[in-house]
A = this chain, B = another copy of it.
Amino acid sequence: MALYVYKFGGTSVGNVERIKAVAEKVKKAHDLGDQIVVVVSAMSGETNRLVALAKDMQQHPNEREMDVLLSTGEQVTVSLLSMALHELGCDSCSYTGSQVKILTDSSHTKARIRKIDDARIRNHLNEGKVVVVAGFQGVDENDNITTLGRGGSDTTAVALAAALKADECHIYTDVDGVYTTDPRVEPKARRLDKITFEEMLEMASLGSKVLQIRSVEFAGKYNVALRVLSSFTEGKGTLITYEDSQVESALISGIAFNRDEAKLTITGVPDLPGVAFKILGPIADANIEVDMIIQNIADDSTTDFTFTVHRNDYQRAKTLLDKTCVELGARNVTGDDSIVKVSIVGVGMRSHAGIASTMFKALADESINIRMISTSEIKISVVVDEKYLELAVRALHGAFKLDQEIES
């Protein structure tokens, strides 16, 4: 008898029929004799509806009250799914985050899970019930309702899987797994049977938004086997595992990309200790997230400093940087908000040389000019003009033969 945690997102429980379909899927698994815990999000559209109501009431809604409000979304879904299971003759019991209880810190709207009490859930599982848990929500030590932030239902599922030592945690979404890249950009993109946690982290943070990064980190930390599957079709999905001998021996697992990039360069900066802090400090104080950072020595006394930000933050960052330029006596500030980032990701590159040159050659063959380069242990990212995005992704997909099945 295995124990599975299933997670269904807002689209998968978006209306009455879909909730019933989820109930059918869960019942089928339960009938096979497995123990099933189901984590669900709010019905799609519901969270937006509630946020709109909140903004009608208060310009900047009180965060504690926002959590009280938003948590009703999942509470509705758990009760409806539990009813649908009862209707199929499948005994079940719903839980709010508070009822479980999923203890979090008190950071309203972005709380972190501290501890999960699994006693009640275990009792109900042992009584043969399906347990339906509200995702995204918890409770702090003073019984205040908290939420984990958007997408937090994935985190709830993984945390429950860890607490219950589940055999696998299934994340049901509207895609049937993790692909080598976005099939809308490269039709030859192929579903991966397996991917490592680290690769998944890089893929997710680079814009392949299949899973929330936090849930993947959480799964890695607590050794939870995650599987991404489709709610709407049959299939085995993609298993996210630790790097081990079972993992495909591909050099590169996928191509990630991010369209919403902008870059800023400050040139002729006097090359003194602390200058990086003086440049990035005001940016951080303004809550602007910086992604890539590159510094080059221009000549013996000045340096050029380049970094990327989200395109929405470009103007704000530029204004701050112009001010810094004057203060530091630097030469000037230039910028470009029509760039994108394309990355190759794969644990294989750790032990293989020549990956970078294959990448650069593939781009050069298509006459794509590389504007910035940044590397980590398992990824290489380049910044290129946004007009080259699709061409670059397809060129790299081909160069690393990602459309071909790996022999295992």
A69 to B76, CA, bound (A): 5
Cβ-based interface call for A33 (8 A):
no
- Establish whether residues A76 and B84, one from each chain, have CB atoms under 8 Å apart when the complex forms: no
Does chain B have a CB within 8 A of A66?
yes
Chain B contacts of A41 at CB under 8 A?
A: none
Do residues B69 and A57 form an inter-chain contact, with CB atoms below 8 A? Answer: no
Partner of A75, one of B58, B75, B84: B75
Residue pair B86, A53 in contact (C-beta under 8 Å):
no
By a CB distance below 8 angstroms, the chain B residues around A54 are 79-80, 83
| A57-B143 CB under 8 A given contacts A72-B72, A76-B69 | no
Q: Is the CB of B57 within 8 A of A68?
A: no
In the bound assembly, the distance between CA atoms of A390 and B387 in angstroms comes to: 80
A57-B75 contact in complex given A64-B93, A65-B94, A68-B96, C-beta closer than 8 Å:
no
Q: Given A80-B53, A99-B143, A143-B99: A87 and B59 within 8 A (CB)?
A: yes
CA distance A57 to B17 in the complex (A): 9
With contacts A16-B56, A84-B57, A87-B59 taken as known, whether A79 is within 8 angstroms of B66 at the C-beta atoms is yes
> Of B68, B69, B86, which is within 8 A of A58 by CB?
B86
Asked whether, in the complex, the Cβ of B65 is within 8 Å of the Cβ of A86, the reply is yes
Cβ contact within 8 Å between A84 and B68: no
Looking at chain A's contact residues, the main secondary structure is: helix
A252 within 8 A of B: no
Q: Which residues of B contact A342 (CB under 8 A)?
A: none
When distances are taken between beta carbons in the complex, the residues of chain B under 8 Å from A98 are 98, 143
Q: B94, A68: Cβ atoms under 8 Å?
A: yes
A 30-55 binary contact with B (CB < 8 Å = 1; else 0): 00000000000000000000100110
Q: Shortest Cβ distance from A70 into chain B, in angstroms?
A: 9
User: Do A65 and B50 touch (CB < 8 A)?
Assistant: no
B68 touches A72 (CB 8 A): no
Q: Which residues of B contact A61 (CB under 8 A)?
A: 83
CB < 8 Å neighbour of A57 from B62, B87, B144: B87
Is A230 interfacial (CB 8 A cutoff)? no
Residues on B with C-beta less than 8 A from A68 are: 75, 78-79, 82, 94, 96
A20: chain B residues within 8 A (beta carbon): 57
Q: How far is the CB of A3 from chain B (nearest CB, A)?
A: 23
**Is there a chain B Cβ closer than 8 Å to A19's Cβ?**
yes
A307–chain B nearest beta-carbon distance, Å: 38
Q: What are the residues of chain B within 8 A of A57 when measuring CB–CB?
A: 16, 19-20, 80-81, 83-84, 87
A62–B69 Cα distance when bound, in Å, is 24
The residue from B62, B76, B96 contacting A82, defined by CB atoms under 8 A apart: B62
- Interfacial chain B residues near A99, Cβ < 8 Å: 143-145
- Cα distance A80–B49 in the bound complex, in angstroms: 13
A58 CB to closest chain B CB (Å) equals 4
Given contacts A65-B94, A68-B82, 13 further A-B contacts (CB under 8 A): A16-B53, A57-B80, A57-B81, A57-B83, A62-B83, A65-B79, A65-B80, A65-B83, A66-B83, A68-B79, A68-B94, A72-B72, A99-B145
